[in-house]
Amino acid sequence: MAGSASIPYHRIASFRRTVLGFYAQHGRKLPWRVTKDPYRITVSEIMLQQTQVERVIPKFEAWIALWPDWRTLSTASTRELLHAWSGLGYNRRALMLGKLAKAIMEKHHGKLPRQPEVLEELPGIGPYTSRAILIFAFNQDIATIDTNIRRVLLHQFDLPPTTTKEQLESLAQRLVPKGRSRDWHNGLMDYSRLALPRRLPRIPPVSKQGRFEGSARQVRGEVIRQLLKQKTVDIFWLAGRIKRDKAEVLKIAKSMAREGVVRLKGRTITLAE
DNA sequence: CTCCCGGTTT
DNA sequence: AAACCAGGAG
């Protein structure tokens, strides 16, 4: 088992120079990189979860214009949150961001906590995001690993894909150049995206292709669009329009109800406030 | 572990 | 049609 201790220091130092040099020369100028405001950093990190950079940029700018800080965001309604989020996907994130703003105003005096363990208790913030926020907002000398960073570490140190999370975390922590954590992590992201060869095509997994995969997507999108225009949507109207199995439509409505997006009342669904 | 979303690329 | 994407919640 190749622990990070088996990697000689000169390779660590050399890699640091490569990444920091690459970032200085080719680093992308992004809206959340010109600020250290913990609020803006947090909004960007939530938006960037499983969502490509190019698509986040305009949504981020619009969001900040609407709600420039935790206080204003904490007053936003569900409808407003979903409207501003529309197009990003994983709508649950918008609702959790709203809850996060309320939690910070009510339980943390309007200030973001600075300990990863405390941050992780807040809605929508997991192991990656808690550390990323502290790195990009406060330049803390800690490490975080997302899919880009994982990929660049495996490539650089010729590690097998079976490398455990713990082994990667140990290596990642040793790599952080003290006092330059923010540039380092930004650099790793850009280096991974811009300087590494494309991913190899993966072995096709066992196709489990649900029969309603296509229509389920349409139904979700349609429900959100309708809810933004009006207050309620009739499930059977939807079912008839989509011409798909009624049970599948109900299943989707129930799943959205679990997320708190809609309330289920008899034959209609209503936007939750 | 599964599910969550949608725009985009291949 | 399938993979991809600054993960997290249940």
Output the tens digit of pLDDT for each of chain A's 273 residues.
556 668 899 999 999 999 999 999 999 999 999 999 999 999 999 999 999 999 999 999 999 999 999 999 999 999 999 999 999 999 999 999 999 999 999 999 999 999 999 999 999 999 999 999 999 999 999 999 999 999 999 999 998 878 889 999 999 999 999 999 999 999 999 999 888 876 544 333 332 222 333 455 666 666 676 676 766 666 655 554 444 445 556 666 666 666 666 676 666 666 666
- C-alpha gyration radius of chain A: 22
Class of domain A213-271: mainly alpha
Question: CATH classification of A8-195, choosing from 1.10.287.1770, 3.10.129.10, 3.30.70.100, 1.10.340.30?
Answer: 1.10.340.30
Which residues, including other chains, have CB under 8 Å from residue A56's CB and lie 6 or more apart? Answer: A44, A47, A48, A88
* φ, ψ of residue A77 in degrees (nearest 5): -85, 165
Asked if residues A22 and A182 have their Cβ atoms less than 8 Å apart, the reply is no
Q: Tokens representing A186?
A: 């930004």
| CA–C1' nearest nucleotide, residue A201 | C3
| CA–C1' nearest nucleotide, residue A51 | C5
pLDDT value for A205:
33
Which residues, including other chains, have CB under 8 Å from residue A166's CB and lie 6 or more apart? Answer: none
Asked if residues A19 and A40 have their Cβ atoms less than 8 Å apart, the reply is no
pLDDT value for A235:
61
Measured between alpha carbons, how far is A254 from A261 in angstroms, rounded to an integer? 10
The 10 Å Cβ neighbour count of residue A154 is 15
Query: For C1, which residue's CA is nearest its C1'?
Result: A209
Measured between alpha carbons, how far is A167 from A2 in angstroms, rounded to an integer? 8
Asked if residues A69 and A143 have their Cβ atoms less than 8 Å apart, the reply is no
Measured between alpha carbons, how far is A97 from A23 in angstroms, rounded to an integer? 30
Measured between alpha carbons, how far is A157 from A152 in angstroms, rounded to an integer? 9
State the amino acid at position A272 in one-letter form. Answer: A
* φ, ψ of residue A180 in degrees (nearest 5): -130, 30
A126 CB inside 7 Å of strand C:
yes
The integer distance in angstroms from the CA atom of A87 to the C1' atom of B5 is 9
Which residues, including other chains, have CB under 8 Å from residue A239's CB and lie 6 or more apart? Answer: A246, A249
| CA–C1' nearest nucleotide, residue A256 | B4
The integer distance in angstroms from the CA atom of A105 to the C1' atom of B10 is 45
Catalytic-residue membership of A222: no
Q: Is-same-fold flag (A8-195; A213-271)?
A: no
The integer distance in angstroms from the CA atom of A253 to the C1' atom of B3 is 15
pLDDT value for A211:
31
- Which residues make beta-bridge pairs with A188? none
Which residues, including other chains, have CB under 8 Å from residue A88's CB and lie 6 or more apart? Answer: A47, A51, A55, A56, A59, A94
Which of strand B's nucleotides are less than 7 A from any protein C-beta? 3-8
Q: Give domain limits for chain A.
A: 8-195, 213-271
